[in-house]
Amino acid sequence: MVLKNELELISDLTIQDWTLRTLKKVPSYFWKAPSSMSGKYHPACSGGKAGLIIHVKRAVYLANDICMAWGIFDLDRDIVISSIILHDIAKPAPGQAYALHINHPTNARNYFADIDKGMYFVKEVEKCVQWHMGRWSPPGIKKPMKDYTALELAVFTADYLSASKELVTPRDMDVREAVKSGINDK
């Protein structure tokens, strides 16, 4: 599993298992799609085949560091990591309509495993995923940044920094190599 190390950052085994089961429901193109359909909004290291997975891996490591810096620990940290792993699962396949792209934050819930089982963390993950685009969220779901919870803000910030063309980390080459070697091993 190409996101094995990222999943293992989740300490709560119930959240870790749920996140994995949710990942197993995503469309097959998710594992090979570029991070950006236009190429305008993500760095070159996450462009091309499996770029979306590279973006997610970068975002997870950033989210983990943000949680440490902001004092987000335990269950809350696990919710942030699960949310950032899942934040783009509903991005459309290359060539699909823009409307599917702009609504991917709300469409993600369609893939969530056992959403109706009342698990204690699912609502929080759903909110973090729904608002991961921050001030660029679709008009129908946009909320003021000042109203974001710390968890929602951590997910937004990790996603935003992961998509930054200006931020290149020493981990980027390791991430790219890990994805290349595991791309056929979802």
Chain segment 71-93, per-residue pLDDT in tens: 999 999 999 999 999 999 988 77
* pLDDT(140) > 70: yes
Question: What pLDDT, on a 0 to 100 scale, did the predictor assign at position 104?
Answer: 83
Region 122-126 average pLDDT: 93
CA dihedral sign of residues 179, 19, 74, 79: positive
Q: What are the extents of the domains in the chain?
A: 4-176
* pLDDT(33) > 80: no
Provide, rounded to the nearest whole percent, the portion of the chain with pLDDT above 90.
46
Confidence band, pLDDT 50/70/90 cuts, at residue 49: low
Confidence band, pLDDT 50/70/90 cuts, at residue 162: confident
Q: Does domain 4-176 have CATH number 1.10.3210?
A: yes
Confidence band, pLDDT 50/70/90 cuts, at residue 155: very high
* pLDDT(174) > 80: no
Phi/psi-derived region of residue 58, left when phi > 0, alpha when psi is between -120 and 50, beta in every other case: alpha
Q: What is the mean pLDDT of the chain?
A: 83
The one-letter amino acid code at 60 reads V
Region 46-63 average pLDDT: 83
* pLDDT(185) > 90: no
Region 135-160 average pLDDT: 92
- pTM assigned to the model: 0.86
Calpha distance 93→146 (Å, rounded): 32
Q: Which of 19-28, 107-116, 161-170 has the lowest mean pLDDT?
A: 161-170
Question: What pLDDT, on a 0 to 100 scale, did the predictor assign at position 45?
Answer: 57
* pLDDT(95) > 80: no
